[in-house]
Amino acid sequence: MTTAVVPRHRRIPGFEARAARMTAESALLGLLAGAAVVAPWTRDGYLLLLDWVSGPHQTMTPGLYGLDPAALDAMPYRLATQALRNVVGPGAVSWLIILGYFPVAAGGISALIGGGRSRRYPAALFVCCNPFVVERLQAGHTAFLMVVSLLCWLLASALRARRRGSWFAARPAGWYALAMAVGPHAAWLGGLCLLAVAVLPRPRKRDLVRTVLMILSAGGIYAYAVVLVLSAILTVKVGRGDLDVYAPHAGPGGMLVTLASLRGFWRGSSDSSPQVDIGFVAGMAMVAGAAAGLALLCRREPRTGVPLAVLAGAGLLLGAGIHGPLAPVYRFAFDHLPLFQAMREQQKWLSITMIAYAAGVGVTAEALKTLCLSARPPLVRLASGAALLAVFSGYAGSAPSLFWGLGGSVRVSHYPGAWYAADRIMGAGDESVLFLPWHEYQPFAFTDSRTVATPAGAFFRRPVLSSDAVELGEVRTNSSSRRMAYVQRLVVDGGHGSFGRLVAPLGVGYVALARDREAESYEWLDRQRDLQAVLRTDDMVLYEVRAEGTGRVGAARSGDYAAATELAAQGELGSEAILPGGTPSGRVPSAESGGIRRTSSTSWAVAPGTPGWVVIPEEWSPGWRAGTLPTRRTAAGTVAVEARSEGFSVRYAPWRWLRLGLAASLLTLAGLIVAGLVEHRRELRRWLFVTRREPPAPPAAPAPEPPGGEARRARAGTAGSGAAGRR
């Protein structure tokens, strides 16, 4: 017997071939469902949703460099999104990322619950088509939906690791790290999933140790966050008022009914998108089917069913937030636990309930199908068929609001020609364009009057200053930007007659006013003596700022916002730096400016010139360094440097460390992927080569007999018989 080594390339390490094939089939089913959703958005135009907008010149936001307090989370995801945008374009990436949720989630839930097609397919369809997904798509929460899809794979991998019983599992840690790289909510959602799998049912010491090690190893993905804290980089301000603003919205049936039916998004009826109403019968069938399936799964497969059942209940309790039985606990956690402020929107906890529901619906559908085919009493078969149809009615309730571009309610948008004309007039450059009306969210005529995030930053080639104030109830803004607060006061006060002079220290070269609404509220722009209209249409008015206030301004005054606006109203304000608590110097009003040039996203070059003050149009932070030269904050919230005559550079020092933190975060993720391969090195070797035994050779055919051989055998046999008889 011999052996031979032959290559094998058809088997995935660690997966049984049939199960892997059905997981791939479920992912394909999810891809088809996603294609039915995004098909209308693949046409020419740009997808604009509440929190997800696109435009022709969308680029990396300053948040990557730690310069935008409102965009410091999930930097690895932002990097990946920008890389994809550079490959396929900003219009396509807006719907491609949405499309990605459906196959990833469908494949993940299939791998989680296992079983046959009659279990996997209904679960895959449910995770794609349910009220929770509809509401999140309407809000444009694409990154959060991707987090949810990765949680399915995290749970599947964690359950597999518990069955193996090892002390450490790299694959669950890798899924956990990847989810946190996409969105900060994964830190708590994924952590709860890992904890549930570890302790339910009957935890062992090895399960607890493995879970702790996975969480610690995946935590390296937040290495850049350590730099943010140590560098005192400004971040958004989140307080207790946010809990009230972002609390779940109770529907007509009350909070419990609303959450159990996977609804309750905080915007409620205030959102311009149509609300999801699956109906009482479909909703009850969905909940009953999920509950029955989870109960059956707990009895048949407790290691899978018990954690999912507990997660379903935990998602409902935590999803109620400050309006539920755990309200005191939730407020305490919000005030004291690290990263828990990411869960200020309490209804996001329903994501784990939705995953558990999908598993339960899949198991119920499988059981009902079996009864339909095998039950002997006809009445049982009819009842099972009716129950199966009722379970599928849950899909029918959500499908009209989901498929074909959210039920046809959202179409791709086309920016007005006036926007393109304004962009051509301004061109590219370092000077910013200030965009009005001053709202972070607002409706536009070209979005069919749907409220969306102001898309100016994704449209214009120049840097854009637009409002970052959420304007929700008692929470008017979460911003910690001094520049934004400065502009907010100027807009409220009507510009003081010298709006251009007052925004010049921000590096503003143009002011763009969209005239979709509130145009009459900004008529004061026409009365500013340092603004000149260079474009006026029914859709937009573009003003050029006729004042300079950045670079080598020479002089400085001591004062604050009130002093600056008073001087501007009297026509006595020049380009000098206004320094709160500073020492006046130089001749005022100053008419000097210029002599600076942006050399990168985090550095400026200052040309040689007259000694004095230099204003850099960046958000003030102690991280801005000009060698040994002193830096100060201006009344406008920008950076002022007391300079000598020679040239020098101004750099944002935290970017160097933030860059190292980002590298460490990405290396953590790469290291976990490599560790996952090493963890399954034996399976990998068996995948590449398999030793196969050669089958034994068949017996040789008898040689042909010579002539007369048969007669000789007959005689020999006769003689042998006689001899035996004698013996």
207-236: pLDDT as tens digits: 999 999 999 999 888 887 777 767 666 666
Token duo for residue 271: 């959102």
Mean pLDDT in residue range 99-107: 96
The rounded distance, in Å, linking the Cα atoms of 310 and 312 is 5
> Between 659 and 322, whose confidence is greater?
322
443 neighbors 272 (Cβ within 8 angstroms): yes
The rounded distance, in Å, linking the Cα atoms of 406 and 138 is 7
Dump strand ranges (E) for 238-345: none
| 502-513 residues labelled b (16+ CB within 10 A) or e (exposed) | bbbbbbbbbbbb
Amino acid 722: pLDDT: 42
pLDDT digits (tens, 9 = 90+) for 580-631: 998 899 999 999 999 999 998 889 999 999 999 999 999 998 889 999 999 9
Q: Flag whether pLDDT at 101 surpasses 90.
A: yes
The rounded distance, in Å, linking the Cα atoms of 691 and 4 is 6
Confidence of residue 688 (pLDDT cuts 50, 70, 90): low
Confidence of residue 645 (pLDDT cuts 50, 70, 90): very high
Amino acid 603: pLDDT: 93
> Between 402 and 714, whose confidence is greater?
402
The rounded distance, in Å, linking the Cα atoms of 272 and 48 is 13
Q: What is the mean pLDDT of the chain?
A: 85
Amino acid 12: pLDDT: 43
Domain boundaries, the chain: 17-263+275-407, 417-545, 551-654
Mean pLDDT in residue range 657-673: 84
Q: Flag whether pLDDT at 721 surpasses 60.
A: no
Coil, strand or helix at 23: helix
Amino acid 232: pLDDT: 60
pLDDT digits (tens, 9 = 90+) for 338-372: 788 889 999 999 999 999 999 999 999 999 988 88
Share of the chain above pLDDT 90, in %: 57
Coil, strand or helix at 670: helix
E strand or H helix that includes residue 227: helix 223-230
E strand or H helix that includes residue 614: strand 612-616
Classify residue 60 by its DSSP letter: -
Which sign, positive or negative, has the C-alpha torsion 464, 470, 471, 477? negative
